[in-house]
Chains A and B, each alone.
Chain A
Amino acid sequence: MPEAREVLRVADLHAWYGESHVLHGVDFAVQRGEVVTLLGRNGAGRTSALKSILGMVGRRSGSILINGVEAINLPSHRIARLGVGYCPEERGIYASLSTEENLLLPPQVQAGGMPVEEIYRMFPNLEERRASQGTRLSGGEQQMLAMARILRTGARLLLLDEITEGLAPVIVQALARVILQLKERGLTIVLVEQNFRFAMPLADRHYIMEHGGIAHAFTAAELQSKTDLLHEYLGV
């Protein structure tokens, strides 16, 4: 049976943290092999959207189809097992685990994950520091580790949250190269970014979020005609 083209479809997604209603009916879809960005200012709901897809918020409603499977009522660990990898905004490196333990922590969620040797070829610093405590790595190395550990799992849909935040330009360029390699391998990526210059050349389509909903959507080809929008919502 051929694989479905649509990997992720989010429809009328609402989410709450306690009493706080943070997403107000988010709708978007991602096709296989696409890189899609969620852009917007702080507080627009981009991180909450990713966390809601993974079931990491207090309460949510609506529909989240991952490879055709409804995930709105599934717990986080079962959503991950649908083939979803997550790189959190704060990187989520565990202080109580070594670099290698951090790398090997997420279980295989699908066949075809990258072998550890290949990951170490892609991120040689991690191999050199495999025995170091995870949080003793530099910011750039921690970000590499956060990316590397989801590549091992075989996840084909990657949710990447602010992966360039606080990193030196040379590291940001290295991350861009990694994203391009993953795209060439056919992985599907949802990228939450504030660094538009980083996201622009990588993405096929862009969604702009505002007040917990999708305000605008456009393709990479339409980018030139959307400069006013970008200026209004992102200040670029």
Chain B
Amino acid sequence: MSEIFGIPTQALFGQLLIGLINGSFYALLSLGLAVIFGLLNIINFAHGAQYMMGAFGAWFLLNKLGLGYWEALVIAPVLVGLTGIVIERTMLRRLYRLDHLYGLLLTFGLALIIQGLFRQEFGSTGLPYSIPKALEGGQNLGFMFLPNYRAWVIVFSLAVCLGTWYLIEKTKLGSYLRAATENPRLTQAFGINVPRMVTLTYGFGVALAALAGVMAAPIYSVNPLMGADLIIVVFAVVVIGGMGSIMGSIVTGFVLGLVEGLTKVFYPEASNTVIFIIMAIVLMIKPAGLFGTQK
């Protein structure tokens, strides 16, 4: 069996693949957080719960309505995004003039309520969700076995992330969004409906979290705390990338997933903490994050 640095290639690439999968979720979730923070100035602590709602949405659609993975990939993010719009309209809107801390506390409370309700209803054990038929099986690449579904998750996440980046950085709508992020009052005085854009942006960010949740459902079991476990790491990713930076979130998400995977191979004891160690170092050297700019 071939080895790299004394590690069997099969094990090394297997861990790199897991790293990339985790990185895909880090990137999708931190991207949503970055979009929301950029325009709303709100640190959306409910993001993990909304990711979990996406996974449960897929489970509901399958078990109650008979709608499979592909339908869920569209319907669940839209439905969860709509709940986000209701939250923005009824609650977050009241906090925009206050310190970030108030938004963080409100969304943290919302996360606890949402998770509590789901745990009350479904308990803490996971619910199974199968891989869609079209993506069952895998490819033997010689140096490793690549499951089709995991390859799909990586490619699709990357496509969604780059699509979102393109939308924000290269389109007219994106220029409205960037302008409103920088100077909302003036942007509105030019005739752009900034309050509606804020609502839709929150809905979009939440929908991204729910999309990640649908994609995660066949990999991890669907359970009420699946987002709570992930969101702390995702916040560390966002801090490292730079709060509000779109490309920063994407690159940092994927790279940190890989770093975590490599750490599992070379020094497994540190695999759960490596991201937080990097976060501490980045905060000391560049507090605005690797891709962020100081406001």
Binding site for B on A (CB under 8 A): 54-56, 75-77, 79-81, 86, 88, 92, 94-97, 101, 104-107, 109, 153
Top 9 A-B pairs ranked by shortest CB distance? Answer: A80-B191, A106-B190, A76-B188, A96-B178, A76-B189, A92-B186, A101-B175, A54-B189, A77-B193
**B172 an interface residue at 8 Å Cβ cutoff?**
yes
Interface string of B190-219 (1 = CB under 8 A from A): 111111000000000000000000000000
Q: Which residues of B contact A81 (CB under 8 A)?
A: 191
Closest to B175 in A: A101
Closest to A86 in B: B189
Q: Which residues of B contact A86 (CB under 8 A)?
A: 186, 189-190
Closest to B185 in A: A56
B179 touches A96 (CB 8 A): yes
B179 touches A77 (CB 8 A): no
Q: Which residues of A contact B192 (CB under 8 A)?
A: 77, 105-107
State how many angstroms separate the Cβ of B102 from the closest Cβ of chain A.
18
State how many angstroms separate the Cβ of B197 from the closest Cβ of chain A.
10
In the complex, which of the residues B175, B179, B190 contacts A80, with contact meaning CB atoms closer than 8 Å? B190
Closest to B186 in A: A92
Closest to A110 in B: B191
State how many angstroms separate the Cβ of B26 from the closest Cβ of chain A.
24
Closest to B192 in A: A77
Q: Which residues of A contact B172 (CB under 8 A)?
A: 104
**B176 an interface residue at 8 Å Cβ cutoff?**
yes
Q: Which residues of B contact A79 (CB under 8 A)?
A: 189
Q: Which residues of A contact B178 (CB under 8 A)?
A: 94, 96-97
State how many angstroms separate the Cβ of A197 from the closest Cβ of chain B.
28
B186 touches A77 (CB 8 A): no
Q: Which residues of B contact A76 (CB under 8 A)?
A: 185, 188-189
With A95-B182, A96-B181, A96-B182 as known contacts, state yes or no: A104 contacts B191, CB within 8 Å. no
State how many angstroms separate the Cβ of B188 from the closest Cβ of chain A.
4
A105 touches B182 (CB 8 A): no
B179 touches A88 (CB 8 A): no
A105 touches B179 (CB 8 A): yes
- Further pairs besides A56-B189, A76-B188, A105-B190: 16, Cβ < 8 Å: A56-B188, A75-B195, A76-B189, A77-B188, A77-B189, A77-B190, A77-B191, A80-B188, A92-B186, A94-B178, A95-B182, A96-B179, A96-B181, A101-B175, A105-B175, A105-B192
